[in-house]
Each structure stands twice: as C-alpha cells, then as structure tokens.
Amino acid sequence: MFAVRHTGKTGWLLLVVMLLLAPLSQAQANPRYAAIVLDADSGEVLHASSADATRYPASLTKMMTLYLLFEAMDKRLMRLDTAMPVSAHAASMPQTNISLKKGERLRVRDAIPALVVRSANDVAVVVAEALGGTESEFARMMTAKARSMKMTSTTFRNASGLPDNAQSSTARDLAILSLRLMKDFPQHYHYFSTASFSFRGKTYYSHNRMVKNYAGVDGMKTGYIRASGFNVATSAVRGERRLIGVVMGGNTAQSRDAQMAKLLDGGFVRATQLAGKAGKRTSADKLLVSTEPVRQVVRAEPVARAPAVLQRATLPVQQTLSVQQSLPVGDLGWAVQIGSFRVPEQARDRASDAARRLDNVDVIQVAVNEVNISNRRLFRARLVGMHKEQAKNACQRLSRQGMDCLVVKTTGS
C-alpha cells in the first residue's frame, strides 16, 4: 500500500502513476518470459506477450521430432513395431533419458511415450538417426519443416532441445507447431495426454501436470533447460471451443502452470466476448499457419454393413473402415469401447487409432455414441460389429499396447 499525503488533483495523479508503476509485467519481471493464447479453430490470437521474441524451446523441440515421426508413420516409412537402432551417440545423451545402451533397438511404440512422458533425450536421437541418418541432418529436416509451416523464427540444431545457442524459436511458432500436430495427426494426439508409461520394468510419470490440474486440458508438452526456464505448450477444451497456449521462461514449473491457467481462463472469456462481437470486428490478429492442406488420415471405403440391429446404434459421428477378412457369420453385436471424451472428434480419432493398431482384426465400423453421464455430455469411442471373442482378443491386444479398453455388448443397448 502507498501513503499519499497530497490532496486534490495532484495527489490523485500521483496515486494513479504509482499504482500503474507498482505491478511489473511478467516480461519486465522475467526477461525470458513469452506467451501466446489462440483459438484453435479460427487462429485468432487472444493474448500475446513477447510472442515473437526469440527464446530457447528446450524440450518443446521434441514436438517437432514427434511431428516428423508421425509424418513418417503416415507415409508408412515407420510402423509402431519398427525397431530403431541405438547408436553410441544416442546412448550418450544426458538426463533426462531412459538409459538406452549402444546396440539395442527401440520400437516406435515405446519411443512415442518416452518422448512425451519422459522427454527422453536418448530416444530423441534414436528417432533422429532413424529418420535422418544423423542428428544434424535430422535437425536440418526439422528446420525445413518449420519453414514450410511458416515457423519463420525457428531454427533447430538437435532433436532433443538440449542446450545449443543456435537453437531458437518463439511462442508464436511453437503455437503453430502445436496446432499442426493436432490438425495433421489427430489419430496420434492422444499420446500428449499420457500420464505414465512403463519400459523394461520401470514406470515413468509425466511432468505435465496441466493435464491433471486444469479442467479441459487434454495434452501437449513441457520443457526445461537452464537457459530457457520452464516452458509449456497446452491445449484445452471448454464447451465447443479449443484454445492453444504457450508459456515460456517460467521461473518454476508451478509458476509456469499457474500463469498458463490464468491465461487460459482469460482466453476462454475473451474468445466468448469476441464471438459475440464477430459481426462488428473488422480486423484481428491471426496466427499465420501454412495453407498446406491437412492430410486425411482415415480413408473411408464402402464395406459390408453390420446386421440391422446395429443400425439402431448408428451414431452422430461414424466412419467405415475396410474389412481385411471375410465377415464372420453370427452375433456381431459386440464392441470394444476405447473411452469417453468431451468432443466427438476426439472420440472418433481415438477409435480410429485403435482400429489401426488392429490390422488383422475384422473391424466393421468406428463409431461414436453420445451419452449423458451425471449431467455431462460425453462421446463414447467404440469399434463395433465384432463377435464376442473377436472383441475380447482386440481389447487384449490394445491393452498390451497401453490403450485402455472395455468389451461391451451393443445389441439391445
């Protein structure tokens, strides 16, 4: 509090000046700080603070490593069971890592959660060398991809985010990357909400507490090196609106998360206000995102339909996948339930990902069923049109791959 002895206009003027000068902004108090919040659908920027200032990305770098890995999977250059060799260079990476040894091999299905949850530096190099031959060549691929996305202020020198004075990005560029990961690879987005994973008998837990502590957050990535401070990229849903936020340069993980929560709260309010004034606005700050078309990951093909009894469960969001074997005769009223989600697109993407993991299973339909549970509107993701034994076997396979599932009877439900 300030004691103001003056009276009249001079005293009030002094009080106003002192109050304006008293609270330092985040940028003033912390020169490493930068932040941006945007509407994921419109690209409209709802908050920006030093969003175009050069910063060290730290382990947010691994989002681009994952992007190129997902792209290779989409092109069928990599599969979940692809075993990648571990070089001496990869094995030498400092903490954080999963203690890989030279000469070992690491499957893609283990590499993805290791990068998301553990932020493993040795795994980042394994992926880099598998895709680029060398880590330095992969870094050039990363930078080239960044340029194609209009991440104009980003340069990568390694795949992990370990300290390198030449490796830099901005909050705005990393928001572009976050958005592209979600839109280009929706079938893989669920990995970014993974809370833990086990590898060779050891369980690792995520540093991303935003997923657990802020309602609506369903993923993205944290990062830290001494030069960068604590960074986080976050995506959150409230109602039908999705926001993406990036906070860089936090002094602690706790203060970074608190700032992100504050910015998301304000962002949702701001987005609602702007939506109400949409007809009156003439211009707005928009995130510059590449016009490169988003790839269509699930390609529907006409196939034999399930018996009529399943059509009663025909759902608001539904896609058909090709059947790889002849359809069995009998009761096809069983399904594998993958989970319940807040938005139908997320449920469909999760179910589509599950279907891809079951390449030898007769999957007739990927379906999403709207339900109301405790006054909450949710969307159940299911693989439907199976025999009971098929469904049980499918769920067992998914469970072995770390995906939660449940066998359910759809006939009469």
Told to judge if 206 belongs to the known catalytic residues of this protein, a careful annotator would answer no
Domain parsing of the chain, residue ranges? 29-280, 308-409
Task: Write down the pLDDT at residue 58.
Answer: 96
Give the chain's mean pLDDT: 81
Is a pLDDT exceeding 80 seen at residue 215? yes
Q: Which two tokens stand for residue 382?
A: 């299911």
Is a pLDDT exceeding 90 seen at residue 193? yes
The total of other beta-carbon atoms located within 10 Å of residue 27's CB is: 15
Q: From the candidates 49, 50, 59, 235, which is the catalytic residue? A: 59
State the alpha helices, DSSP H only, in 197-303. 210-213, 253-276
Q: Residue 274 in contact with residue 281, Cβ under 8 Å?
A: yes
338 vs 137: which has the higher pLDDT: 137
Is a pLDDT exceeding 80 seen at residue 359? no
The total of other beta-carbon atoms located within 10 Å of residue 254's CB is: 11
- Least confident interval from 225-229, 255-259, 276-280, 326-330: 326-330
Start-to-end Cα distance in the chain: 64
The total of other beta-carbon atoms located within 10 Å of residue 326's CB is: 8
**Phi, psi (degrees; rounded to nearest 5) at 115:** -75, -40
Told to judge if 119 belongs to the known catalytic residues of this protein, a careful annotator would answer yes
Is a pLDDT exceeding 50 seen at residue 318? no
Rounded CA-CA distance 172/178 in Å is 10
Q: Residue 323 in contact with residue 363, Cβ under 8 Å?
A: yes
- Least confident interval from 85-94, 124-133, 317-326: 317-326
Report the pLDDT averaged over residues 30-45: 92
List pLDDT tens digits, range 383-394. 888 888 888 888
> Which residue carries 């996305």 as its tokens?
149
Band of residue 8 on the pLDDT scale cut at 50, 70, 90: low
Band of residue 300 on the pLDDT scale cut at 50, 70, 90: very low
Q: Residue 119 in contact with residue 223, Cβ under 8 Å?
A: yes
Task: Write down the pLDDT at residue 285.
Answer: 62
Amino acid at 159: A
| Domain topology for 29-280 | Beta-lactamase (3.40.710)
Is a pLDDT exceeding 50 seen at residue 147? yes
Q: From the candidates 49, 50, 87, 119, which is the catalytic residue? A: 119
Rounded CA-CA distance 13/28 in Å is 23
Which residues have CB under 8 Å from 409's CB, separation 6+? 333, 334, 335
Task: Write down the pLDDT at residue 408.
Answer: 84
Which element (helix H / strand E) includes 127?
A: helix 121-132
List pLDDT tens digits, range 329-358. 456 788 888 877 777 877 787 788 788 778
Helix (H, G, I), strand (E, B) or coil at 124: helix
Q: From the candidates 49, 50, 62, 150, which is the catalytic residue? A: 62
Q: Which two tokens stand for residue 235?
A: 């995506």
Is a pLDDT exceeding 50 seen at residue 320? no
Architecture of domain 308-409: 2-Layer Sandwich (3.30)
Report the pLDDT averaged over residues 294-304: 31
Task: Write down the pLDDT at residue 93.
Answer: 96
- Least confident interval from 250-259, 296-305, 334-343: 296-305
Told to judge if 168 belongs to the known catalytic residues of this protein, a careful annotator would answer no
Which residues have CB under 8 Å from 261's CB, separation 6+? 210, 213, 214
Task: Write down the pLDDT at residue 339.
Answer: 78
